Amino acid sequence: MKQQYSHEIRPLQSVNDVISAFQKKLDIAETELSESEAIFLKMTILNYINVHKNDPIKSNLDNFNFISYEVVRNEKSDHYYNHMGITSDNERILVIIESQLNAITSNCEELKVDMIIERGIDTSHVNQETSEFFAYLMLFDSHNENH
């Protein structure tokens, strides 16, 4: 797997760089969340707090700065909308970033995988062949199955 995807491994970028890269491929606009979408954000926050509870960053957990984006539905984004089976106009694909944690997520699993691949991985994980590195490599299999 390492040799199969070695040419696709990207060095770690900021989530803002990832958003910029995807804004060249899709129409993505900063947005406010509806009440139902706020539940997705609350779950995301709980996940981040749980994952980072033993990290030094814990002191900043009250200072998360989430920014939400909407993927505008059009021919550029149809692939993702069709993959999710969204037919209603009041459902939309969201991307949520938190820059302190360099975290990015989406309510569209396929888009989330594509953005995490785009974000890349810290070279220390690659050099030490950590479990994070192998988890990153496995994303390429998921990505290739969906394209």
Q: What is the pLDDT of residues 114-127, one digit of tens each?
A: 999 999 999 999 99
Q: What is the pLDDT of residues 3-19, one digit of tens each?
A: 899 899 999 999 999 99
Q: What is the pLDDT of residues 49-77, one digit of tens each?
A: 777 666 655 555 567 888 999 999 999 99
Could you tell me if residue 133 is inside a domain? no
Domain of residue 66: give its range.
14-121
Identify the pLDDT of residue 93: 96
Q: What is the pLDDT of residues 93-144, one digit of tens each?
A: 999 998 888 899 999 999 999 999 999 999 999 999 999 999 999 999 888 8
Handedness of CA 29, 34, 38, 40 (dihedral sign): negative
Q: Which two tokens stand for residue 72?
A: 């505008």
Kindly state the greatest CA–CA separation across the chain. 46
Q: Residue 19: which of 93, 76, 104 has the closest Cα?
A: 104
Identify the pLDDT of residue 1: 84
H or E element in which residue 115 lies? helix 109-119
Number of independent structural domains in the chain: 1
Could you tell me if residue 139 is inside a domain? no
Could you tell me if residue 117 is inside a domain? yes
